[in-house]
Amino acid sequence: MLWKAMGAALLAFATVQAGATGLAGDARELHDRVMKERDHHGRPFAIVDKKNARIFVFDSAGRVQGTSTVLLGQATGDDIAPNVGEHAQQGFVPFKERTTPAGRFASEPGTNKYGEQIIWVDYDSAFAIHRLRPGKSEKVRKAMMKLADPALHRASYGCVVVPVKFYDEVVQRWLGRSRATVYVMPEDRDARDVFGDL
């Protein structure tokens, strides 16, 4: 009885805190379902809200540890293209395959071909969460992250791209030490269809 009461109190606290950080609508509902059903298996987790171009990172108790705007795949859509992993290894991904896939993923920390720390969300399709990388497009991408319209946050081959400081202080700390769970919300389908089997 005591454990049940403690669990209910923890869920209530996590729900209130999630609401205080701008987590709303379908993303808030998903957070609450994850906590109620313990779908994250006691691990830290993240929710990527594609419609609002935003990521929320939570500790294992469901308390939000940080949120940030993100850049997403250039092409809209919720599915992983069949050959996108192979194309990514070859260095070119056709535009229509540059989607950020929706779903529940068991993530793990790793490195890319440059030795950079990243979070592999789905290794086979080369889908990851990583820092905004330096280079000729860095300035433009930084500006895109600040745009108010989430529809204009489309710049990657499919990965979720976050600011460097946010990656170092939040993503690496909570998702970069061990396996975690990443929930990517759909933009074209109903969230209940994607996460109905939680």
Whole-number pLDDT of residue 90: 65
Rounded CA-CA distance 53/96 in Å is 19
CATH of the domain at 99: 2.40.440.10
Number of domains in the chain: 1
**CA atoms of 43 and 159, how far apart (whole Å):** 22
- Residues 130, 152: Cα–Cα separation, whole Å: 19
Q: pLDDT tens across 100-145, in order?
A: 999 999 999 999 988 999 999 999 888 999 999 888 889 999 999 9
For residue 172, the enclosing domain spans: 2-195
Q: Are strands 72-73 and 154-156 parallel, antiparallel or unpaired?
A: parallel
What pLDDT is attached to residue 164?
96
Q: What is the pLDDT of residues 8-67, one digit of tens each?
A: 444 444 444 454 467 888 999 999 999 999 999 999 999 999 999 999 999 999 999 999
Which segment of 19-23, 144-148, 149-153, 188-192 scores lowest on mean pLDDT?
Answer: 19-23
Give the pLDDT of residue 9.
42
pTM of the full predicted structure?
0.87
Q: Residue 23 to residues 10, 40, 67, 102, 194: CA-CA distances in angstroms?
A: 17, 18, 9, 18, 19
Residue 138's SS3 state is: helix
Rg (CA), the chain: 16
